[in-house]
Amino acid sequence: MPKLNLTRREFLKASGASLFLAGLPLPGFTKDKPPGTISVILLEGGMDGLTAVPPFGDSNLLKMRKGLTPENYLKLNSFFGLHPSFKYFAGLMAKNNASIVHATNFPYTKRSHFEGQNLMQGGGLNPFSETSGWLGRALDLARTPGRSMSLDMPLVLRGMSDNDNFYPANIRSSSNLMTKLIDSISMSYGKEGSEVFKKVSKKSTQKDSIVPRNPASLAKFAGKAMAQEGGPLSSVIKVDQFDTHASQGSDEHGRHGKQLTLIDDIIAGYKEGLGDAWDRSIILTLTEFGRTVFENGTRGTDHGYGSVGLLAGGAITKSRVISDWPGLSKKEQFEQRDLMSTIDYRSVCAACIENALGLDHDLIADKVFFTPKLPRVYNNIFS
């Protein structure tokens, strides 16, 4: 059998997802342990919110995208449905452990992958204006090290301090590499921090730390790590290939539907891994933009504006669809082509930070998102 040689870039692409962990509460550094954990699923390419959560109560939906709307959607209420790929998520909705924010996005309208992804991770006022990420800055404010346990830290987790990395992988002798990296990190934290990292180093060499890098396995690993005493408070899983310009499909067997199944699997993996810690967890999706309302000539969609955000976790105790619905008629579309965003998704991220890390909303608005008057939507999600 011929040997298969993959470059690191090819290997990451083939694996379908990447995991990043951060925020280790250290004795003597962390004043009080934050109340929960926060996890972000980055959906790169632009998830189609109108396919993921079709507003079948809008009479214009099927007129404009009949070939993109699933016929066997799961009914949520009299107006919104859920794509059939979200079977597990639908179960969480039924148990009041999940919610949806529709017609939402970061305030970015230019439809560039590079700019949009940078803004959704950096959380600044303009693309490429920040060298740190909104979650990393939040971890800094919560007095937890914003250092990522990964090979390649994403911008969203970068804090204001120096960064060191560590990553669980299914590679021969990778546990030796992990131990060396953790030892290097621990040296920068002094005596008290060193003791915590020694425990992490021991865990990293155990059999269950060498995991497959499929999305569900990574989520389960992340959940187990965050559930441990003194474990990380935050995780990020990155999934790409949501850029469906052609042959997008409508049901769970189509291109976009298969990507939505990955999201469902990730959320299921988190719940299994977190165990009892599920009750203090919040998980949210993040995508750089939505897709066009109209189906294009190649049975796909192009870069849009408004999309949908999926929230899950035991921190949610009442499921709901949160939306200030803008409508889908031509005159109601953004620039007569896209779903209008009527909810600033930074407000949703701020509410999740407030719940998980115990920070004040005004502090988050000012120091994390640099927008002092950012609306507070906490009660819409967590009450």
Identify the H or E element spanning 63: helix 61-65
Helix (H, G, I), strand (E, B) or coil at 186: helix
Tokens of 82: 């859920």
Calpha distance 344→134 (Å, rounded): 15
Identify the H or E element spanning 337: none
Tokens of 277: 């810690």
Calpha distance 241→100 (Å, rounded): 22
Provide the pLDDT for residue 87.
97
Provide the pLDDT for residue 252.
92
Provide the pLDDT for residue 136.
92
- In this structure, is the dihedral angle defined by the CA atoms of residues 153, 258, 50 and 74, taken in order, positive or negative? negative
Locate all alpha helices (DSSP H) within 155-254, ordered by sequence: 174-187, 190-204, 215-227
Which of 228, 237, 188 shows the shortest CA–CA distance to 204? 228
Residues 6+ apart with CB under 8 A from 289: 46, 105, 108, 111, 116, 303, 304, 305, 307
Calpha distance 119→328 (Å, rounded): 26
Are 164 and 185 within 8 A, CB to CB?
A: yes
- Indicate the pairing of strand 307-312 with strand 343-344: unpaired
> In this structure, how many other beta carbons lie within 10 angstroms of the beta carbon of residue 127?
17
Q: What is the pTM of this model?
A: 0.85
Are 143 and 149 within 8 A, CB to CB?
A: no
Provide the pLDDT for residue 173.
45
Tokens of 350: 């701020």
Provide the pLDDT for residue 119.
96
Provide the pLDDT for residue 27.
56
pLDDT below 50 — which residues of the chain?
Answer: 1-15, 149-151, 162-175, 177-178, 181-182, 184-194, 196-197, 199-210
CA 377 to mean position of chain CA atoms: 18
Provide the pLDDT for residue 146.
54
Are 326 and 105 within 8 A, CB to CB?
A: no
Identify the H or E element spanning 244: none
Calpha distance 23→37 (Å, rounded): 9
